Amino acid sequence: MGLNSTEILIIIFVIALVFGAQRLPQLGDALGRSVRNFKRSLKADDEIDVTKDVKHLDEGESKKS
């Protein structure tokens, strides 16, 4: 189900017709930035600081005792 070279050339030709040759560099730049940002967000650490919540729970348990 992959694209062969002929299909890729046809897609590029249609994109050039729709957007015009003047805007293609701008579109390529924007697409490249979007891909880089997406990859960067996938690599970012998803850490949450829960120390305040844990301290609050510990204080609540010590008051009950």
Burial 4-32 (b: 16+ CB within 10 A, else e): eeeeeeeeeeeeeeeeeeeeeeeeeeeee
Q: How confident is the model at residue 32 (pLDDT cuts 50, 70, 90)?
A: very high
Q: In the prediction, which pLDDT does 4 show?
A: 92
Q: Is the pLDDT of residue 20 over 60?
A: yes
Q: Is the pLDDT of residue 26 over 80?
A: yes
Q: Would you kindly state where each structural domain of the chain is located, as residue ranges?
A: 5-64
Q: In the prediction, which pLDDT does 29 show?
A: 92
The packing angle between helices 5-19 and 24-43, to 10°, is 120
Q: Is the pLDDT of residue 64 over 70?
A: no
Q: In the prediction, which pLDDT does 48 show?
A: 72
Q: In the prediction, which pLDDT does 34 show?
A: 93
